Amino acid sequence: MHTTINNLRIAYTDEGSGPAVVLIHGFPLSRAMWQPQVAALSAAGFRVVAPDLRGFGDSEAPREGYSMDQFADDIVALMNHLGIGRAVVGGMSMGGYILLNLLKRHPRKVAGAAFLLTRCNADDAAGKTRRAELAAKVRAGERALVEKAFADILFAPRTLKEQPQIVDTVRSWIQKTSIAGLAGSLEAMAQRPDYCARLGEFDHPALVMGADDDQIVPPETIGPFATALPNSTSCVIPGAGHMANLEQPQSVNACLLKFVRLCSQRFDLRDNNGRDV
């Protein structure tokens, strides 16, 4: 499916019926990453919406206009277009940064916040420099550097050895991402604010999920992240890396579904009139 949001063609998946769940993919991926979760959540009685962010997947890729604010505004506009007043929102990696932005700027759209394989801190000076340099090289035509930098560290060593088909599939998603989306998102991530000291302000029900072999978000960061949120729970997925939702989908689905059910019991997620509740 696709629609025009903020003057841009945005592609999205919309499956199932019932309380709404919105899933935001990570960098440098697409909504295709959520296939196991869309299937499980929709079968369990939830409406699941998973967009391709601007510049990714089948969505339009403008030359400019990439920021955490803009990504979050696109999510809100899509929710309003689909008549979703509020939803449980899950964000993986970069999607988690967008979710933090939503909690700050559009808190009433979020009934529950699922932080999957992500972090609350901003890049340090060295990290900002690395992202800026990589963005510049991508714009100069060296887009393959993104695949080289990210492809292998997205997975647990066990996955690289035992599930090469998943690795190949994720590589194909990275290769499909536009140059504008890659470079613009790298710059947007470099400019994101630090939210760690502000987590106490977010009293939404929250889930913080990690993986024991994640090379990008070390599992030891999950406990402090969850502790800093006033109303949170956490889980660490065994035998998985940064792509835990594909590497160990049953474990991820069980943890996520338990959280979504809890949120749906506490909030009316069937507000389908499109109001910004």
From its phi and psi, is residue 206 left (phi > 0), alpha (psi between -120 and 50) or beta?
beta
Q: CA-to-CA distance for 193 and 189, rounded, in angstroms? A: 9
- From the first residue on, what is the mean pLDDT of each consecutive set of 10 residues in the chain (277 residues)? 95 97 97 98 98 97 96 98 97 98 97 97 95 95 90 91 94 94 97 96 97 95 95 96 97 98 77 41
- Establish how many alpha carbons lie within 13 A of residue 210's alpha carbon, considering only the half-sphere containing its beta carbon: 20
> Dihedral sign, CA of 53, 215, 246, 39?
negative
The reply to whether the predicted model has a pTM over 0.75 is yes
pLDDT tens readout for residues 106-164: 999 999 999 999 999 999 999 999 999 999 999 999 999 998 888 779 999 999 999 99
Opening angle at CA 191, ends 232 and 50, nearest 5: 55
What does the pLDDT read at residue 60? 97
The CATH fold of domain 2-266: Rossmann fold (3.40.50)
Q: Which residue has the tokens 């989908």?
A: 249
Q: Which helix (H) or strand (E) holds 20?
A: strand 20-24
Helix (H, G, I), strand (E, B) or coil at 4: strand
Helix (H, G, I), strand (E, B) or coil at 248: coil
Query: In the predicted model, what is the mean pLDDT of the chain?
Result: 94
Domain ranges of the chain: 2-266
CB atoms within 10 A of CB 266: 12
